[in-house]
Structure 1
Amino acid sequence: MSSNQQPVVLGKIGASHGVKGWMKITAYTDSVKGIFDYSPWLLKENGQWREVKVTDWRQQGKAVIASIEGIENREQAQLLTHCEIGVMPDEMQQLPEGEFYWKDLIGCEVINTKGYNMGKVEQLLETGSNDVLMVKANIKDAFGKKERLIPFVTEQFILEVKLPEKQILVDWEPDF
């Protein structure tokens, strides 16, 4: 693992499931099954990442459970509860043009069509109808804003995303 690249967190290990070392998986991917498109996984234990291999998985109601190589009983599985699951950034799937990973949008400067710098994307929120950019305003924001919530609706509010420049062009008034 390269020292200048940090893994991208795709989920975490939940509670143990049964007595044979299976564990519940919380996936941050679009589909809960999407986390199994990545192999091997990296698990973060006690601040350190280590590579693991998923030997089997299945859907259990709305959730998913998995078995990891070397984890053979409930006690071993319980030791992994709350461990983050990650992959290296270069393992991430290429997205079609016009689609973005949230991790790539965080930290982008948000500039409106009049050239006003509205701040930087601090996080994204999933609302059901559309995602929302949470933009932390600049310290000396002319409109006294601390943050702005901008719907991530392309062509209406989000006009252009320039990832190499870490910049997002929006049609949004700074006082809103």
Structure 2
Amino acid sequence: MSSGTDTVLLGRISGLFGVRGWLKVYSYTEPPAAIFDYALWYLGDNASPMRVCHHRKQGRGLVVQLAADDAPPIEDRDVAAALVGLDVRVAREALPSLPDDQVYWADLLGCRVVTRDGVDLGRVDGLMDTGEHPVLVVENGRQRLIPFVRGPVVDSVDTGEGRIVVDWDPEF
């Protein structure tokens, strides 16, 4: 990525689709097709963005055709195969602003989680969507699954400081 480009993870290239260079996309956005709201994707550690040329819903999944710079769309399956498995990121500045009480999941990754009493529970290593509410996956020598429910469980979130305060039993 070009220096100074802050990106946010939105999905990954999950496979090939057909023989004309199209790719399957696994989206972390809600709804999943919202990943196509962004015309430029940074893939893996690539220094330059890829342009979304064509996209569509395909069955229960999503497919896309990409191009580098001002080049025509990738139409060679073997060229497209080199992109499979790469993360899809977009420039943070392309994301819409959120109200103060909301955060992007990507901003929670790496945050230190502490109890009200200051007991360090570890760092957020991932998040899961259970349908009911998101769950923080917290790692610190062991894994804890902590519901991300503001009020009863999550007291405060300060992404600038990288700190989440929770009402949680450290023994649990």
Normalized against structure 2, the TM-score is what? Answer: 0.82
Pick from 79, 82, 87: which aligns with 1:84? Answer: 87
* Structure 2 counterpart of 1:16: 16
Q: What are the ranges of 5 or more consecutive residues in structure 1 without an aligned counterpart?
A: 140-145
Once residues 170 and 47 of structure 2 are traced to their aligned partners in structure 1, the CA distance between those partners, rounded to angstroms, is 41
Pick from 98, 103, 109: which aligns with 1:106? Answer: 109
Query: Does 115-124 or 35-44 show the bigger shift?
Result: 115-124
Q: What are the ranges of 5 or more consecutive residues in structure 2 without an aligned counterpart?
A: 68-72
Alignment of 1:19-168 (within 5 A): 19-44=19-44, 47-69=45-67, 70-137=73-140, 146-168=142-164
Shift in Å, 1:6 = 5.1
Q: Which has the larger radius of gyration?
A: 1
Shift in Å, 1:5 = 4.7
Once residues 79 and 120 of structure 1 are traced to their aligned partners in structure 2, the CA distance between those partners, rounded to angstroms, is 32
Query: How many aligned positions are there?
Result: 167
Secondary structure of the corresponding residue to residue 29 of structure 1? coil
User: What is the percentage of aligned positions where both structures have the same residue?
Assistant: 37
* Structure 2 counterpart of 1:172: 168
Shift in Å, 1:61 = 1.3
**CA-atom RMSD in angstroms:** 2.2
Q: Provide runs of 4+ in structure 1 moved above 4 Å.
A: none
Question: CA-to-partner distance for each residue in 1:37-73, whole Å, 9 max, x for gaps?
Answer: 11211223xx433212111111111111112233123
Once residues 51 and 71 of structure 1 are traced to their aligned partners in structure 2, the CA distance between those partners, rounded to angstroms, is 14
Once residues 113 and 9 of structure 1 are traced to their aligned partners in structure 2, the CA distance between those partners, rounded to angstroms, is 30
Once residues 143 and 14 of structure 2 are traced to their aligned partners in structure 1, the CA distance between those partners, rounded to angstroms, is 33
Once residues 59 and 173 of structure 1 are traced to their aligned partners in structure 2, the CA distance between those partners, rounded to angstroms, is 43
* Structure 1 counterpart of 2:70: none
Shift in Å, 1:9 = 2.6
Normalized against structure 1, the TM-score is what? Answer: 0.81
Secondary structure of the corresponding residue to residue 53 of structure 1? strand
Kept after mapping to 1: 8 A contact 2:2/2:47: no
